[in-house]
Structure formats: structure tokens, C-alpha cells
Amino acid sequence: MAPPKATSPAVEIEVGERDVRISNPDRVYFPARGETKLDLVNYYLSVGDGIVNALRERPCMLHRFPEGVAGEKVHQKRVPHGAPPWLETVRVHFPRYNRNADELCVTELAHVIWAVQMSTVEFHPWNSRRADTEKPDEWRIDLDPGPRCPWSRVQRVAHVVHEVLGELGATGWPKTSGGKGMHVYVRIAPDHGFKDVRRAALAFAREVERRMPDDVTTTWWRRDRDPAHLFVDYNQNARDHTIASAYSVRGNPEGTVSAPIRWDEVDDVSPGDFTIATMPERYAALGDLHAGIDNAVYAIEPLLEWAERDDREGDEDPGGSDEG
């Protein structure tokens, strides 16, 4: 029989007014450079205001890696029994299964660090908040490159996204996805349900496609897309569809980060630039580049007019679900 593996003693981390116990702090989570669970804790502490701003008051899906990112990934919606009494949650309903779940609802940094203690690497929040989970206040533009789409194409499309947003009078807040793509968030008034926000996102995606037909697709079925094209994934605005938040680490060996960037950085960055090793210094120098997002609220009515125009011209909605 093999001897039991030695485990390092737990450590107590002071986070604001809370003490969070971190077990197995020396467990390697990211094999490329050997960062540990405690390194992950320290990363999230270093970007504390930014990650809380990205998650605040939103139902949040947790992507957990109990053995590190080389091991099994667990998608967790429900906060487990035995969570500390100071943790906050929000109840959401899933019509497809006729079930409810009490999901993590971050309002302070200790909630994030508790989730890391529970082996969370990635944070995937809804685009609506606890006050009314059925009314999104965030429109998400997901630039999802096909398998043969170069990063240079993602950069070119991002500039056209910026151009169209400017014509609409909307402020976009870009970030790398932490993978191969880019996201742009727009704060919107929580006046519409998921179906309308998704229709608006589709209308916007089609406008970008019209301007860049050799680069962009809105074709729904993956098998029908040119693998060199970039898919503007409007369905990320459907109910219960989530993507990694700003400042979320991704579950890969390098520990890449979904990193906010400035528009004037788009041509100079690549996703691999931002990891848990590099982001703390960047954050210390620049702060939260999305700090002003709540002050730039856009009303989506012009996009809904575009959607009605598309309907009249016979551009059918290709599919997708608005139910969780």
C-alpha cells in the first residue's frame, strides 16, 4: 500500500472583516509554472476591487478544480450546505428542469476567497443582478474565433465592434477572454428580458458581419461556419448562459486571465500576456480598467429597431435558447 500523501497545514487569510481558512495551500493548481492554490488566493487578493466589481450582486456559476487544472472540472451552481453564514446567495429558477438553485452572490472579496478555498478557479456570472435576475443589465459581445481564425482577425473585428458601438452612442469595455478570443461588455438599462437582449445582440452581430463578411459569421451551427471566420456569439446573452468574468482566471496550465484592456491596447496584446503571474503588477499600475462601467448605461431600443428591420427583411433567428 502506498503511503498517504503529505498535506501542508491550512492557513488563515484575513480578508476584510473575515478570516478564511485555506486548506491544502501548497497544492499545485497550474503546472506550467507550478503556482499553487495559495498563489491563486493571492492573485484574487491582488485584483480584489476588480473581481468584486465584475461579480457584484450577480448569480455566479463556479468552475471548480479540486485537484488543480490538470484534474476534473466541476460546474457548480448551488452553494453547498455548511457554507459560512456571512456568504450571500441569490435564488434562481431553471424552467427546463423546474428546479431552483441558490447561487453565490458576491458582494465582498471574502466571498471570492471562500470560493477559491472551495477549489474555484473560474467565476462565471450571469448578466443580470440579484435585484431582478430576469432583467439583464449587461450586454456581452463574445468574439469567438474559429479553429483557424488568427488573433489578428480578432483584433480587426474588435475595432469594427468599437466603431459600431461608437455610432450607437454605446460605451464598450473590452477584455481578453483568457482563451483565444475577446469579449466586450456594455452596461445596459435593466428594462428588458433575456429574449430582447439576445435579439439586440443578434442585430448588432449581423451589422458587424455586414461590414466584415470575409472575417465574421453569425451562422449558428458550428459545422456550417468557415473555421477561419470569427463567430460573434450573440447567444451568450441568453438566460443562464455565462462566460468568465473580468479578472477571472481560466482553467488551463498557464493560469491565463480574462483581462480588461484599453481600446488603444487591442493591436498590441495577445491572450497569453495575461496570467496570474503578470496581472498583479499590471493591476497595481493601472487599477480596474472596468471601474467606470456602471456609469455608462446604454438603452438598447435602437438595436431592437435593427432587429425588427432584420425580421422584415427575412433574416430569421437561427436558434438558441433563452431558458436555463
Burial classification of residue 220, based on how many CB atoms lie within 10 Å of its CB (0-12 exposed, 13-18 middle, 19 or more buried): middle
Q: Which of helix, strand or coil describes residue 35?
A: strand
DSSP 233-265: -GGGGSTT---PPTT-B-SSTT-BB--B--GGG
Q: Report the DSSP beta bridge partners of residue 123.
A: 62
Residue 62: phi, psi to the nearest 5? -105, 130
Q: What is the pLDDT of residues 218-258, one digit of tens each?
A: 999 999 999 999 999 999 999 989 999 999 999 999 999 99
Burial classification of residue 98, based on how many CB atoms lie within 10 Å of its CB (0-12 exposed, 13-18 middle, 19 or more buried): exposed
Measured CA distances, 39 to 14, 56, 63, 113 (Å): 15, 23, 17, 12
**What was the pLDDT predicted at 282?**
98
H-run or E-run covering 173: strand 173-176
User: First vs last Cα of the chain: how many Å apart?
Assistant: 46
**What was the pLDDT predicted at 36?**
98
Closest to 161 (Cα-Cα) out of 247, 230, 248: 230
Residue 265: phi, psi to the nearest 5? -100, -10
Mean pLDDT of 64-73: 97
d(CA 238, CA 323): 7
d(CA 159, CA 67): 39
Burial classification of residue 158, based on how many CB atoms lie within 10 Å of its CB (0-12 exposed, 13-18 middle, 19 or more buried): buried
Query: Is pLDDT above 70 for 322?
Result: no
**What was the pLDDT predicted at 320?**
54
pTM, rounded to two decimals: 0.94
Q: Which of helix, strand or coil describes residue 12?
A: strand
Mean pLDDT of 301-306: 98
**What was the pLDDT predicted at 2?**
44
Q: What is the pLDDT of residues 94-151, one digit of tens each?
A: 988 889 999 999 999 999 999 999 999 999 999 999 999 999 999 999 999 999 999 9
Helices and strands (H, E) in the chain, number of each type: 7, 14
Domains of the chain: 11-125+247-289 (3.90.920.10), 138-241+295-312 (3.90.920.10)
Say if strands 11-15 and 18-22 run parallel, antiparallel, or are unpaired. Answer: antiparallel
DSSP state for residue 210 in the 8-state scheme: H
Query: Is pLDDT above 70 for 267?
Result: yes
Query: Is pLDDT above 80 for 324?
Result: no
Query: Is pLDDT above 50 for 1?
Result: no
Mean pLDDT of 72-88: 95
